[in-house]
Amino acid sequence: MKRIVPILAYTAAALTIVAVILSPFVLMGWFVRGVAALGLRTDPVYSGGEAAYAIPKSGYRIIVNRPVVPKSLLRAGPTFVQIAWEPASALPARIGDEVDVDHDGRPDLVARFAVPRDRTAQLQADVTSLSPRVASMRGIARQSFTSAIVRVGDRIVLRVPLADLKRPMGP
């Protein structure tokens, strides 16, 4: 009996350690399904909003998202629209595309930027306004949530501030 008690104690301790090591793997599926069932979504200020439509180009496409109106608590800035060029690996060395941000059939801006092959290189864009919805801007880099150009994976994402006009935007 004196020999059995330590063996049972060590066995119980070893099984406890195995259970502690394996429990995150077993419980992760339940946790992920539970969080997904809550319907939580990333705030559009961070995600750039939902894609509204795509503009096909030769070898790449431009994704125009719905305008994002930042919540007043975030103090993120004015309404903006996020535009993405993808795949970045297929883009020409220089981009100069007209983009219709409100999907009314008329271009609202011209975005110009260089596409360096070095994925870590700093990007810089110029936006020329073609409508009162957008202000012309030079040298957009990573200023804020509402005016920035960055490479995200195999996409180049440009955020452009919009004028606060009374009529709604979007398709």
The tens digit of pLDDT for each residue in 54-100 reads 999 999 999 999 998 877 665 556 788 999 999 998 999 999 999 99
Residue 168 lies in a domain: no
Residues 130 and 56 in one domain: yes
**Residues 6, 8: Cα–Cα separation, whole Å:** 5
Task: Quote the pTM value.
Answer: 0.72
Least confident of 1-10, 29-38, 84-93: 1-10
Domain of 106 in residue numbering reads as 44-161
Model confidence band, residue 145 (pLDDT cutoffs 50, 70, 90) = confident
Q: What is the DSSP letter of 134?
A: B
Residues 108 and 126 in one domain: yes
pLDDT at 169 > cutoff 60 = no
Residue 23 lies in a domain: yes
| Long-range contacts, 20-27 (Cβ 8 Å, 24+) | none
Q: CA torsion, points 160, 163, 169, 171, in degrees to nearest 10?
A: -30
Residues 95 and 29 in one domain: no
Residues 9 and 92 in one domain: no
Please state the φ and ψ torsions of residue 152, each to the nearest 5 degrees.
-125, 105
Residues 77 and 155 in one domain: yes
Percent of the chain with pLDDT strictly greater than 90: 36
Residue 81 lies in a domain: yes
Beta-strand (E) ranges in 1-79? 51-56, 61-65
Task: Name the nearest CA neighbour of 170 among 105, 102, 108, 109.
Answer: 102
Residues 68 and 100 in one domain: yes
3-state class of 82 per DSSP?
strand
pLDDT at 167 > cutoff 50 = no
How many domains in the chain? Answer: 2
Residue 169 lies in a domain: no
Mean pLDDT estimate for the chain: 85
